[in-house]
Amino acid sequence: MLVQGLTRSQTKRLIELGRVTVDGATPKAGLLLRGGERLRVEPESPEAWSVAPEPIPVPVLFRDDDLVVIDKPADLVVHPAVGHPRGTLVNALAHLGAAGGDPGRPGIVHRLDRGTSGVMVVARNAAAHARLAEQFARRTVEKRYAAIVVGEPPAEGRLETWYGRHPVDRQRFTSKVSRGRRALTAFRTVERAAGCARLDVQLGTGRTHQIRVHLAESGWPILGDPVYGRRPRDPVLRGAAERLGRPALHAAVLAFDHPRTGARVRFEAPLPADFREAWTTVRGG
């Protein structure tokens, strides 16, 4: 799918941001229109494409000539957008010398929500970007997350649904749609405490807000999620959520084939202090 007046990379970016919908659903970048579809495009302002280098501290887990693997801090926006033209991960990457792929998003292959911490891979040249992007598209990348949820999920589960924009609130997503894109989330309960659970979550697809939506709409919202969660009634859980100040979601593991050597590589980002503190509070110390 290519929107008139935009380059292919710009169109793909808008689709990834959920700013393009076809008949109310977020399409794939390669969708061919048959005619008669209802197309909605929400362009970004020019300020969103600023990539000025900024010395923002970002922990680097690995670096070579082809890629950088970082541990994204929570509350760091991945790329410039309306309201966040500077102070983003892209600005930090420009300072680190990462490049490749879309010039408006140097090296970015995938993204994490602003409030989600954890491991991300960034390409340092166009060839690495293309090979990594292909792996994400083919879903051969292992993506595992740690989450704290409110509720009593089963020991393990698999959530496979349609997925798309919320029909009323366009800033949200939902699995309660009759058409759209497929979304797959699998999880395993690691530990339980005080009406909460700590989960190991594996993404089969990478839709925007996917884990947050799937878990919340299954009855186990992520602790501290201001969009899809709810304010806990229990004062201990409420205090833990307020001190955390973000969804208790952390990208813990990322594994993929190295774009140059083809060797399988695996990277882990340790649980951040605020996540550990929240779980300690939930457990009662």
Residue 66 falls in the annotated catalytic set: no
Catalytic residue among 102, 113, 225, 274: 113
What is the DSSP secondary-structure string of the chain? ---TTS-HHHHHHHHHTT-EEETTBPPPTTPPP-SS--EEE-PPPGGGG----------EEEE-SSEEEEEEPTT--SS-BTTBSSSSHHHHHHHHT---S-TTSTTB-S---TT-EEEEEEESSHHHHHHHHHHHHHT-SEEEEEEEEES---SEEEEEEEEEE-SS-TT-EES--SSSEEEEEEEEEEEEETTEEEEEEEESS--TTHHHHHHHHTT-PBTT-TTTS---SSHHHHHHHHHH-S-SEEEEEEEEE-TTT--EEEEE-PPPHHHHHHHHHHHT-
| Residues acting as catalytic residues | 113
